[in-house]
């Protein structure tokens, strides 16, 4: 499958809708809307449960819809960006409430959900004559804002031809076509998530080791950049710059709760296949401990890299680095 750089007359008439404007969803929706307007096409239709989240997109010319049914009714391609399986299931049920009106529509879900959920939702939509593609994304909010995510696509070739012009070069730096079964894309995402969690655990341990031995975080971070690549270096930066524990009014790059959910899906998929993910289980345990720390500290928002704080505590250090304490006004 190859993406097209030009739009056919049929493609140029497609109306696009977007449901879900969290930090990732808002970034992707904004980039798609800007692309549409640059092509002289109809603005992106959108809906978000918390209406104020759509104010910025509306100010750019996006079309606010009153509910999910309106987005679905007025769009040929409907993108979803939600928090978890239950949210996506609820959205799909509301789309299906159109009855015969759902036939011929394409639903493209960017959410990280369990492959079993993806498979079940795909079957429901196909029974009503609609098409479904799973397009989970790799990358945090800053990457989404830059339009440089990695998208994993799984769905039919016909759907890919219609959806791909809004992926590479719009929300993504690259599209990884996994196959025709939508659940294969979310299985790949689940795999990527437990690998990422394991790497994050190792980077956190490395930083605590560097601090306690006197090697120093700056030295380790340079090594990570030179030898272990962008992903390990990015994890390191999230720890050394305090992103792992955002300021009390700050926002995480990647929410802790979503990280717990995502790694849990990977571990469950592995268990179904008879595989034990020991490193991923350690990372998940520490993510859950970070959640407990959050709850004990006023429900403070934490990044998925906050397992670093737990590794610090296990080594006799404070959950917060001196930089975080100073930023919080405690020093």
Over residues 259-307, the pLDDT tens digits come to: 999 999 999 999 999 999 999 999 999 999 999 999 999 999 999 999 9
Banded model confidence at residue 1, pLDDT cuts 50, 70, 90 = very low
Residue 5: predicted pLDDT? 39
pTM of this structure: 0.91
List, for residues 217-241, the tens digit of each pLDDT value: 999 999 999 999 999 999 999 999 9
C-alpha–C-alpha distance, residues 138 and 149, integer Å: 6
Give the 3-state secondary structure of residue 260: helix
Region 7-17 average pLDDT: 69
Partners of 46 in the β-ladder? 18, 64
Residue 125: predicted pLDDT? 98
In the chain, alpha helices (H)? 9-12, 23-38, 55-59, 68-73, 85-96, 115-127, 141-145, 157-163, 183-213, 217-223, 229-240, 256-272, 278-296, 307-314, 322-327
Banded model confidence at residue 330, pLDDT cuts 50, 70, 90 = confident
Region 195-203 average pLDDT: 97
Q: What percent of the chain has pLDDT over 90?
A: 94
Please give the full DSSP string across 120-144, using - where no structure is assigned.
HHHHHHHHTT-EEEE--EES-HHHH
Banded model confidence at residue 11, pLDDT cuts 50, 70, 90 = low
pLDDT at residue 3 greater than cutoff 70? no
Q: What percent of the chain has pLDDT over 70?
A: 96
Question: Token pair of 223, please?
Answer: 């090594």
List, for residues 135-167, the tens digit of each pLDDT value: 999 998 999 999 999 999 999 999 999 999 999
C-alpha dihedral, 220 to 226 to 227 to 231, nearest 10°? 80
C-alpha–C-alpha distance, residues 258 and 243, integer Å: 16
Banded model confidence at residue 6, pLDDT cuts 50, 70, 90 = very low
Q: How far is CA 208 from CA 100, 204, 292, in A?
A: 58, 6, 20
Please give the full DSSP string across 83-104, using - where no structure is assigned.
SSHHHHHHHHHHHHTTGGGGTT
181 φψ region: left (φ > 0), alpha (ψ -120 to 50), beta (else): beta
Residue 13: predicted pLDDT? 80
C-alpha–C-alpha distance, residues 43 and 143, integer Å: 23
First and final C-alpha spacing in the chain: 56
How many other β-carbons are positioned within 10 Å of the β-carbon of residue 3? 17
C-alpha–C-alpha distance, residues 252 and 2, integer Å: 34
Higher confidence at residue 83 or residue 11? 83
Checking 91-100 for CB contacts under 8 A at 24+ apart, the result is 91/19, 91/20, 92/121, 92/124, 92/125, 94/67, 94/68, 94/69, 95/68, 95/69, 95/125, 95/130, 96/124, 96/125, 96/128, 97/69, 98/69, 98/72, 98/73, 99/128, 100/128, 100/129
Q: Which residue bears the tokens 């056919």?
A: 8
Banded model confidence at residue 9, pLDDT cuts 50, 70, 90 = very low
Region 201-224 average pLDDT: 98
Q: How far is CA 294 from CA 3, 74, 319, in A?
A: 43, 41, 11
Residue 12: predicted pLDDT? 60
């Amino acid at each position: 499958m190859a993406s097209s750089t030009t739009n056919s007359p049929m493609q140029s008439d497609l109306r696009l809708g977007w449901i879900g404007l969290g930090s990732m969803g808002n970034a992707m929706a904004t980039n798609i809307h800007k692309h549409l307007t640059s092509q002289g096409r109809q603005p992106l239709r959108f809906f978000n449960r918390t209406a104020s989240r759509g104010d910025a997109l509306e100010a750019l010319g996006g079309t606010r819809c009153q509910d999910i049914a309106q987005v679905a009714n007025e769009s040929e391609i409907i993108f979803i960006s939600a928090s978890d399986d239950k949210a996506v299931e609820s959205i799909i049920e509301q789309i299906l409430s159109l009855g015969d009106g759902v036939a011929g529509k394409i639903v493209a879900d960017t959410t990280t959900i369990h492959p079993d959920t993806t498979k079940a939702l795909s079957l429901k939509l196909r029974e009503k004559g609609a098409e479904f593609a799973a397009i989970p994304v790799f990358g945090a909010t800053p990457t989404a804002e830059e339009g440089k995510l990695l998208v994993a696509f799984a769905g039919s070739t016909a759907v890919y031809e219609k959806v791909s012009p809004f992926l590479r070069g719009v929300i993504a730096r690259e599209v990884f076509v996994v196959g025709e079964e939508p659940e294969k894309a979310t299985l790949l995402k689940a795999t990527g998530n437990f690998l990422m969690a394991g790497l994050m655990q190792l980077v956190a341990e490395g930083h605590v080791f560097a601090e306690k031995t006197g090697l120093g975080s700056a030295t380790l971070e340079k090594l990570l950049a030179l030898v272990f690549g962008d992903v390990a270096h990015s994890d390191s930066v999230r720890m050394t710059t305090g992103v792992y524990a955002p300021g009390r009014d700050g926002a995480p790059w990647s929410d802790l709760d979503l990280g717990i959910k995502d790694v849990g899906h990977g571990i469950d998929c592995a268990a179904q296949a008879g595989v034990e993910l020991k490193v991923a289980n350690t990372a998940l345990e520490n993510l859950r401990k970070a959640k407990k720390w959050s709850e004990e500290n006023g429900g403070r928002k934490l990044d998925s890299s906050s397992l670093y704080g737990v590794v610090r505590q296990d080594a006799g250090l404070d959950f917060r680095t001196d930089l975080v304490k100073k930023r919080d006004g405690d020093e």
